[in-house]
Amino acid sequence: MTDILIRQTGRAGRITLTRPNALNALSYPMCREIDTALRAWTDDSAVELVVMDAEGEKAFCAGGDIAEIHATASAGNYDHGRDFWRDEYRMNARIAAYPKPVVSFLHGFTMGGGVGIGCHGSHRVVGETTRIAMPECGIGLIPDVGGTWLLARAPGRIGAYLGITGARMAAADALLAGFADHFIPLSAWPDLIARLEQTGDASLVAAAATDAPDEGTLAADRAEIDRHFGARTIAEIRQNLVSADTPLARRAREAVDRNSPLSMACTLEAILRLHGATDIREALRQEYRFTYRSLERGDLLEGIRAAIIDKDRTPKWRFTPQEVTPDLVDEMLAPLGAAELEFADG
């Protein structure tokens, strides 16, 4: 297919996303091809590591292909989205536990589904153009594809801030938050990839790393973020932001007032429940419980409509902040019984 190029080059299994005109958005067929390749390379002694990258200048992968999910669900077919998420999350878990090095080169926009394929491997490379984010609350979803796992492990309350507001991270911020491992200038990437293909030696990545060109914003803002986002509810967080009247607080308050109240409350609770978790599959199961219900009982269809169908940017969320009770959050995150996400290796 033309959306993804999978091959073996030298000692490397190579995965390149090739739909730059769609910002390399991840479709269901692309997801399945990646998983098939990873399974095939697991026991292939000729493949010593996996290298992921993408064509185009703007994005490694700006997210999942939500237009198709909207089209099928609007016609009453909720299974398409649920099947996509189920197989995508299993693929995310496979990357996180892969027995060989997985080196991802994350240029430009790396969001949503792009985080799922790019930010769980062993060697995550960022450059000058990198912009990583989990903006799902803006379309009525929660940070998924293992996003809550990364957010729960971020220092202090940075994870809650990033998950609730969808704030973007440049390279230094992504390193601080735990979404990336190494900064390498983009100009050095082609030669490094060629040497990885030739040698199969993942230690070349760390050897090529340099300091990020700037310190980002999270380090300087961390004390304020911890103060505002240390609250246990979205209402308390918003009150903290209203009281602060700083540039960060104003930007964060605008995001809180714009995003889905249900999604934000469930995101905060999901992150809190994962503190101390030891396996990404705990996060993926919890995320699947929300996404499974999001088409029928949540805001996802309305969020996609407002963002990419009608593009009016004025979603009419199903619940007001006052209507999002702890019981409602518990219902969205409750186990699914027979539909619970399972993994082949348990």
Count CB neighbours of 189 within 10 A.
16
Q: What is the pLDDT of residues 179-202, one digit of tens each?
A: 999 999 999 999 999 999 999 999
Sorted by where each begins, the domain ranges of the chain are: 4-339
- In Å, what is the CA distance from 82 to each residue of 79, 138, 194, 290, 294? 5, 20, 38, 10, 10
Output the pLDDT for position 344.
Answer: 82
What is the C-alpha separation between 151 and 169, in angstroms, rounded?
Answer: 13
DSSP string, 193-231: HHHHHHH--THHHHHH-B--SS-TTHHHHHHHHHHHHTS
- 30-39, 61-70, 156-165, 271-280 — which is least confidently predicted? 61-70
Percent share of the chain, pLDDT over 90 = 95
DSSP 338: G
Q: Which amino acid is at 73?
A: A
| Helices (H), ranges, the chain | 28-42, 66-74, 79-96, 113-118, 147-153, 158-165, 171-177, 189-199, 203-208, 218-229, 234-244, 247-258, 261-274, 280-297, 300-304, 326-333
Q: What is the pLDDT of residues 81-92, one digit of tens each?
A: 999 999 999 999
Q: What's the start-to-end Cα distance of the chain, in Å? A: 31
Output the pLDDT for position 214.
Answer: 85
Radius of gyration of the chain (CA): 19
Q: Which of 94, 219, 89, 239 is nearest to 154 (CA)?
A: 219
What is the C-alpha separation between 266 and 289, in angstroms, rounded?
Answer: 11
Q: Is the pLDDT of residue 165 over 70?
A: yes
Q: Is the pLDDT of residue 346 over 60?
A: no
Q: Please report which confidence band the pLDDT of residue 11 belongs to, taking 50, 70 and 90 as the band edges.
A: very high
Q: Which of 259, 323, 334, 246 is nearest to 290 (CA)?
A: 334
Kindly compute the dihedral angle of the four CA atoms of residues 64, 29, 82, 297, in this order, to the nearest 10 degrees.
Answer: 40
- On whether the CB atoms of residues 124 and 96 are closer than 8 A, the answer is no
CATH top class, domain 4-339: alpha beta
Q: Mean pLDDT over residues 2-14, rounded?
A: 96
Q: Is 133 helix (H, G, I), strand (E, B) or coil?
A: strand
